[in-house]
Amino acid sequence: MTTQSSERRPAAVTVVIPAYRVGVMLHDAIDSVLAQDRTDWEIVVIDDGDRDAAAHVAPYLADPRIRFLETDNGGPSTARNRAMATVTTPYVALLDGDDVYEPDFLSSMIAALEASPRIGFVTSDATFFGADREGELFSTYCPQQLPATLDRVLRREFNIFGLTVMRREAIMGIGGFDTSIISSEDFDGWIRLLEAGWELAYVPRPIVRYRRRANQASRNSGGMLRTALTVTQRARERLAGRPEAKAAEEMCDRIARQIMIDDAFTDLEQGRVKAALAGFDRAGPDLLGPRWRRALRVIRVAPFLAPLLLRLRKHV
C-alpha cells in the first residue's frame, strides 16, 4: 500500500516566511499555505531572532513540508537570504508572517511564471485588512499600469506588491536581497532582477491579503523614502548609458522632493511653521494634492490654524 507522503509530488515552490514579532498572526500565514489549491509546496519559517516564533510553529512541524530555522536577528533581507540558501525548489514564494495568501495564490502565480522561461518573477494585486483601508486594493494606492517594464517600475507607474513568486535561479543569480538596506530591500531586488534581463509577470487580481498594523515598518514614510532614494541612486549609477537611466534620474529628484515634503510636515507638526513653509516652497507644489495646496495658502495667512489642518489631514 502506498502512503500519502510517497504519493505526494516533489515540491515545486518553497514559501519563505520571516516570523519576526508577528505572534499568533503567524498561524494565519501558515494556514493560508495549507489551504492552497495545489499541494506541491514546502514552507521555511525563519525566526530572525524572535524566540517566540518557535512555539507558534511547533504545532505545524508534524507536516514534513514545513521546516523551521532558528537564527539571530539580521533583518528581513538577511532572513530571506538565509532561508533561500536552504531551498532547492525551482520557485521561491515570499510571505510575511502577518499576511495571508488566497487559496489560488500559488497556482495563479506559478502559472504566470511558467508562461515563459524569460519571466523571472511575478506579482499581483492585494487586498488590505486590519488597522485601516479594510477591503481596499493595493492598486488603488499604488498604480500597476502595464506593461511592467523597468522604466515603469522605476517611475512607480507599475508598483510591485512585495509578496512575489520568483524563479530561484533569478533571485539567487543576483545574489539575493541586499542586506545593507534596512527597508526598500524588495524594491532594490526587483530593480536588479529587471536590470539583469528577467521579465516581470502580473496577475491582475487581489490574491493576497495584506495586514495593516499600527507602527509597522512599512508605514514609516520618512525612513522608507530615504532608503528608496538610496536604492534609486544606486540604480541610476548602474544604469548609466541605458535608456532607463533617465527614469532613475528623474525619480531621484522626485523622491528627494518628497523627503523635503515629509520633513516639512514634521516641522509643521512640531510647531515650526516658518521652517515648514520654507520646506514646502523648496519642494515645489506639484507633489501636493489640491487640498493641501489650498491648506498651505490658509496657513500662510493664519499660521495658528496649522494644528487643526494637520488633524484633518490625518483623517483623510
Q: Return the percentage of the chain with pLDDT > 90, whole number.
A: 81
pLDDT score of 128 more than 60: yes
What pLDDT does 215 receive? 59
Between 130 and 175, name the one with better pLDDT.
Answer: 175
pLDDT score of 233 more than 70: yes
- Of the residues 194, 219, 244, which one is the last residue of a structural domain? 219
Between 242 and 183, name the one with better pLDDT.
Answer: 242
Between 228 and 8, name the one with better pLDDT.
Answer: 228
Gap between the Cα atoms of 87 and 16, Å rounded:
9
Gap between the Cα atoms of 44 and 193, Å rounded:
23
- Same domain, yes or no: 78 and 207: yes
160 sits in which H/E element: none
| Residue 262: band (very low, low, confident or very high) from pLDDT cuts 50, 70, 90 | very high
Per-residue pLDDT reduced to its tens digit, 46-79? 999 998 999 999 999 999 999 999 999 999 999 9
- Which segment of 32-36, 110-114, 129-133, 185-189 scores lowest on mean pLDDT? 129-133
- Same domain, yes or no: 177 and 244: no
Q: Return the percentage of the chain with pLDDT > 70, whole number.
A: 93
- Of the residues 190, 219, 248, which one is the last residue of a structural domain? 219
What residues does 211 pair with on adjacent strands?
129
Gap between the Cα atoms of 162 and 18, Å rounded:
13
- Same domain, yes or no: 114 and 252: no
Looking at the structure of the chain, the number of domains it has is 2
pLDDT score of 30 more than 70: yes
Q: What is the DSSP letter of 302?
A: -
Gap between the Cα atoms of 294 and 157, Å rounded:
26
What pLDDT does 5 receive? 43
- Same domain, yes or no: 61 and 190: yes
Task: Give residues with Cβ within 8 angstroms of 178, minimum separation 6.
Answer: 77, 185, 188, 189
| Other Cβ atoms closer than 10 A to 30 | 23
Per-residue pLDDT reduced to its tens digit, 2-28? 334 445 678 999 999 999 999 999 999
- Of the residues 219, 234, 251, which one is the last residue of a structural domain? 219
- Same domain, yes or no: 72 and 204: yes
What pLDDT does 8 receive? 65
pLDDT average, residue stretch 72-94: 96
- Which segment of 1-10, 263-272, 284-293, 299-308 scores lowest on mean pLDDT? 1-10
What pLDDT does 213 receive? 77
Task: Dig out the grid coordinates for 182 from the structure.
Answer: 534596512
Domain that holds residue 269: 224-314
The CATH number given to whatever domain includes residue 89 is 3.90.550.10
- Same domain, yes or no: 275 and 168: no
Per DSSP bridges, beta strands 91-94 and 13-18 are parallel
- Same domain, yes or no: 77 and 129: yes
What pLDDT does 7 receive? 55
What pLDDT does 307 receive? 87
Alpha helices in the chain (DSSP H): 4-7, 25-34, 53-57, 76-84, 105-113, 138-141, 150-154, 168-173, 185-195, 221-238, 245-269, 273-283, 290-301, 306-314
- Same domain, yes or no: 228 and 207: no
C-beta of residue 15 within 8 angstroms of C-beta of residue 89: no
Gap between the Cα atoms of 125 and 114, Å rounded:
19
Residue whose C-alpha is closest to residue 190's, from 219, 225, 161: 161
- Same domain, yes or no: 230 and 204: no
What pLDDT does 310 receive? 83
Between 193 and 310, name the one with better pLDDT.
Answer: 193
- Same domain, yes or no: 33 and 75: yes
What pLDDT does 316 receive? 46
- Same domain, yes or no: 209 and 237: no
Per-residue pLDDT reduced to its tens digit, 101-115? 999 999 999 999 999
Gap between the Cα atoms of 182 and 222, Å rounded:
13
- Same domain, yes or no: 235 and 186: no
